[in-house]
Amino acid sequence: MRSSAPAPRVITVVGPTAAGKSDLGVFLAQQLDGEVVNADSMQLYRGMDIGTAKLTLSERGDVPHHLLDIWDVTETASVAEYQRLARAEIDRLLAAGRTPVLVGGSGLYVKGAIDALEFPGTDPGVRARLEEELVERGSGALHARLAAADPEAGRAILASNGRRIVRALEVIEITGKPFTANLPGNDAVYDTVQIGVDVARPELDERIALRVDRMWTAGLVDEVRALEAHGLREGRTASRALGYQQVLAALAQECTEDEARAETVRATKRFARRQDSWFRRDPRVHWLNGAVEHRGELPHQALALVERAVTA
């Protein structure tokens, strides 16, 4: 039965992978005359279904889902482009009297959609030079330069994340300001209620391992093999997605399939911790317990939270 309470302008459902965000988003959309707007960067890619745990049509519960399957795997992800698309969907839904329910664990994408965030431009010449240095000198050397120029950015960006290091150095060179000066604050552009799904690490780690097992059983290797024929290996963003990167390595005989599977579990656990840390920094997120023993209570607690926020 749908709630009679007026809904806020935008709801977000955030948290680490495997926490249960997708199902909660569907429930809230059903209860609040809403529609889901995807905020998972890898679910934007066509054909990347199994490895991203994309909900099937039946699992979406007749709730319209937007910003799924819009990019080819050869396209490089752009937060600025996502921001444009997400705000267009949010504004369209609001104009139609519907509740946008933004669901996903890509922290910068969520902030790009709901917060005042401007993206510095890019300079192809600067980018090309930095990328050439990355190939020649490695990410460690560039990370050392970044840490010297912007210590806060050096702490926030992993030394192994060459793509983000290059972008940070590019922004510093273009703007003459620290990269962190361009990072988002908490100035919202929509009235928003943010819900975080919290699952303790031991249980979350177990869920991640089981999810990876299910992905392999469901045919992740075949999915990657099919996408490879459509340019996945050349896709600068999609080829690095969790699971896909590891399977591509196995298909190239750089490791065994069992090793790829084990590394997918390890990498996903590390990623989930980074997601949790990102969202914990935002004091506007209301955290609810998503543990298995609270699974029956979670949807109704979330709905009550939304309704309290509206009537407060």
Q: What are phi and psi of 11, to 5 degrees?
A: -115, 140
Closest to 255 measured CA to CA, from 221, 214, 210, 209: 221
Is 18 annotated among the ligand-binding residues? yes
End-to-end CA distance of the chain, in Å? Answer: 23
Side chain identity, residue 311: T
Is 16 annotated among the ligand-binding residues? yes
Query: Residue 77: beta bridge partners?
Result: none
- Both tokens of 280, joined, read 């914990």
Is 111 annotated among the ligand-binding residues? no
Report the C-alpha gap between 66 and 267 in whole angstroms: 28
Strands (DSSP E) along the chain, which ranges?
A: 10-14, 34-38, 65-66, 99-103, 192-198, 285-289
Is 22 annotated among the ligand-binding residues? yes
Side chain identity, residue 169: L
What's the Cα-to-Cα distance from 211 to each of 121, 133, 220, rounded to whole Å?
Answer: 38, 37, 11
Report the C-alpha gap between 120 and 122 in whole angstroms: 7
Is 128 annotated among the ligand-binding residues? no
Counting beta carbons within 10 angstroms of the beta carbon of residue 189, is it exposed (0 to 12), middle (13 to 18) or buried (19 or more)?
Answer: middle
- Both tokens of 94, joined, read 């609001």
Is 178 annotated among the ligand-binding residues? no
Angle at which helix 201-218 crosses helix 257-280, to 10 degrees, equals 140
Report the C-alpha gap between 66 and 82 in whole angstroms: 12
Answer for the pair 79, 110: CB distance below 8 angstroms, yes or no.
no
Q: Which residues are part of a known binding site for ATP? A: 15-22
Q: Which residues are part of a known binding site for substrate? A: 17-22
Q: Which residues are part of a known binding site? A: 15-22
